[in-house]
Amino acid sequence: MLRIHEIKKSLGESQGVIPERIIKKLGVKGLEIQEYRLIKESVDARNKADIKLVYSVDFISSLPDKTAGETESRLLNQCKNAKLELAPDMKYQQVAQGSESLMHRPVIAGFGPSGMFAGLILAQAGYRPIILERGKSIEERVKDVERFWKEGVLDEESNVQFGEGGAGLFSDGKLTTQIKDPRVRKVLEEFVLAGGPPELLYKQKPHIGTDVLRRVVCSIRRTILEHGGEILFQSRLTGLEVSGK
Ligand SMILES: Cc1cc2nc3c(=O)[nH]c(=O)nc-3n(C[C@H](O)[C@H](O)[C@H](O)COP(=O)(O)OP(=O)(O)OC[C@H]3O[C@@H](n4cnc5c(N)ncnc54)[C@H](O)[C@@H]3O)c2cc1C
């Protein structure tokens, strides 16, 4: 798969124009785009009368009588000025099934973003984690927070800080971290699988929004449960007893 940068379209144009823009930019006769995936979208608003969306795109292409590998080599050789490169492997290298057998099921304290993804990955690897969360499930938590906002009654265990989804659940859900760690991609892909908008994967400043975030967290909870994990709400970790080696 190849990656090309600076493919542009106007605001009013549909995404369907992307393949033809790639072909035009590369200018290679007979080239066809078989598949493409938007990797990044940014806005070029320098000309207010014609604001452009600018994309980096991964694509699979073909040339008549050429294998996929031959097509890629030919394009890389022939289109040196086209901001073209081999697409990096962005797949998060997760163990499909854990091979290590554990004496006990792993226990995670807290079901905020960190505990959620630790739980999800352990569950996907077959380790059936047990997650302890001091607060309540989203459904109950939302009622407690609304009561606090209306009546000023604070539930010390179920509030804007504590409960399923963690401290940011009542925030706006801006997902703007731009670190290059491949695990960021894994998080965004899981959000999309759990019902988040597909553009999370390529928007420069992805934004999930509070309502969608809640549905996404419930869906990730279901995935953990389907994989044999357990989430115990209103279960606060109060200490650790260490015995043996
Ligand atoms: C108002 C607000 C708005 C924010 N907006 C954004 C945003 O738009 N974008 C963004 O990226 N980040 C945002 N953040 C930051 C983001 O929420 C945090 O970075 C993130 O929640 C940290 O995740 P965490 O899992 O490490 O901790 P937390 O989210 O704090 O999760 C910890 C969880 O553990 C539970 N817990 C605590 N102690 C125990 C215990 N002893 N036993 C069992 N369970 C326990 C808590 O109830 C909680 O659910 C915001 C934060 C706040 C407070």
Low-confidence ranges of the chain (pLDDT < 70): 94-96, 178-179, 245
Tell me the pairing of strands 107-109 and 2-10.
unpaired
What distance in Å separates the CA atoms of residue 96 and residue 119, rounded to the nearest whole number? 15
What distance in Å separates the CA atoms of residue 4 and residue 130, rounded to the nearest whole number? 44
- Determine the pLDDT at residue 171: 82
Ligand 1 centroid, distance to 210 Cα (angstroms): 14
Q: List, in order of start, the domains of the chain with CATH numbers.
A: 2-86 (3.30.70.2700), 107-232 (3.50.50.60)
pLDDT in tens, 173-211: 778 776 677 788 889 999 999 999 999 999 888 888 889
Q: Select from 117, 132, 134, 191 the residue to mutate for testing ligand 1; criterion: most ligand atoms less than 8 Å from CB.
A: 134
Q: Select from 133, 136, 169, 191 the residue to mutate for testing ligand 1; criterion: most ligand atoms less than 8 Å from CB.
A: 133
pLDDT in tens, 14-47: 999 999 999 999 999 999 999 999 999 999 999 9
